[in-house]
Structure 1
């Protein structure tokens, strides 16, 4: 039922979410959705938490790969401009790989994220769920920026997050327009500017 709720939000928008729509999407009796979830707020909260946990597990592998890669460089190496450009390009490729996988394998998840991040009609508890998801990823990017020694890790992490969200939103708004080579070049320019 949680996956069904996410599909309804992704396909029809938050306002289309009802117990009846979730039951129909899940192929279960309506009484089951009302038995397990006292109201739609609880259903939305549990569905988004379910999605958030799965996303953290998936993205964690990409983050760990980036951190492991950064561990290969000591402070002396990080001081070299050519090495920093190589690192920026490598991290851009890792982010591009993640975006490509996420958009290809979980387009509905991306749509759900966009709903939670940008729908102004969500109630305060649902906004808090979106804030927690974003904060978790932001903390990961701050850690990467600190490891890189960027001038302003928190600001730089915000720039990376905003760019990734924009690219995801663009990819689902215009299907078939995601071009990994173009995305990788854009992310490389951003990362090179941050580590310069």
Structure 2
């Protein structure tokens, strides 16, 4: 197997980072409520996300959740916003190695099919590692992201957030596709992002040891090869 899997220590942890500890007590409490709301949304869905469920999950008094967020709809909306920012920040960071790899590639060398295939294979492995890590480490955020795109159908107020979220998520992939297609890279990026998202959603509840990383790698290799206008799809070891 080409892709290694690292099991997260605690997928539902609300432990504060050093940066959070520098916040005021009120800010810490508000962030704890929002992070707990994200985790409750992932586990219980919209209907099961109540002030009481969030307070119980955060192990705080119910009065605190209603003090900071009197309206449960606003609390859920703010939780979606926080989750979106977390996902897009991780996405941008995850694609950075691929961006750096392309920055050092001589486009002239890609006239050789073998060089182009080699680059595709490197990018495919990087992207697959990124997907597997997100599936393993960020299943909560992915579940809430999926819920966000489902909920927007019945809650138009979330429409602008979904558009912002999608644009931010697409940005690093568009930059990658621009290297091979300066004419309409957004189309290739849209196709690539759609395939990657479906891989993530399909595997959210799959036990770590049962993840078929070889199949994920094969799919990723094909979609990246498509963006690079490569017909040869064999992945060299």
- Asked whether the two chains share a fold, i.e. TM above 0.5, the reply is yes
Aligned to 1:184: 217
Q: Residue by residue, what CA displacement relative to the aligned partner does 1:157-192 show, whole Å, maximum 9, x if unpaired?
A: 011111011101110254454222211111101111
Aligned to 1:69: 101
Task: Decide whether aligned partners of structure 1 residues 77 and 164 sit closer, same or farther in structure 2, where only a CA change above 3 A counts.
Answer: same
Aligned to 2:57: 25
Are 2:90 and 1:54 aligned? no
> How far apart, in 2, do the equivalents of 1:166 and 1:145 lie?
19
Unaligned runs of 5+ in 1: none
Aligned to 1:143: 175
> How far apart, in 2, do the equivalents of 1:135 and 1:60 lie?
12
Contact 2:180 2:227 in 1 (8 A): no
Q: In structure 1, which of residues 87, 105, 112 is the aligned counterpart of residue 144 of structure 2?
A: 112
> How far apart, in 2, do the equivalents of 1:117 and 1:175 lie?
24
Aligned to 1:159: 191
Q: Residue by residue, what CA displacement relative to the aligned partner does 1:24-75 show, whole Å, maximum 9, x if unpaired?
A: 2111111111111131232122222222222233222221111100011123
What is the TM-score of this pair, normalised by structure 1? 0.90
Cα offset for 1:136?
Answer: 0.7
SS of residue paired to 1:16: coil
Count of aligned pairs: 196
Are 2:179 and 1:133 aligned? no
Judging by fraction of residues, say which structure has more helix.
Answer: 1
> How far apart, in 2, do the equivalents of 1:70 and 1:123 lie?
40
Aligned to 1:6: 38
Cα offset for 1:150?
Answer: 6.4
Task: Decide whether aligned partners of structure 1 residues 111 and 56 sit closer, same or farther in structure 2, where only a CA change above 3 A counts.
Answer: same
> How far apart, in 1, do the equivalents of 2:164 and 2:141 lie?
16
Q: In structure 1, which of residues 91, 94, 104 is the aligned counterpart of residue 126 of structure 2?
A: 94
SS of residue paired to 2:95: helix
Unaligned runs of 5+ in 2: 1-32, 230-237
SS of residue paired to 2:204: helix
> How far apart, in 2, do the equivalents of 1:29 and 1:173 lie?
31
> How far apart, in 2, do the equivalents of 1:128 and 1:156 lie?
23
* Greater alpha carbon shift after TM alignment, 67-76 vs 86-95: 86-95
Aligned to 2:117: 85
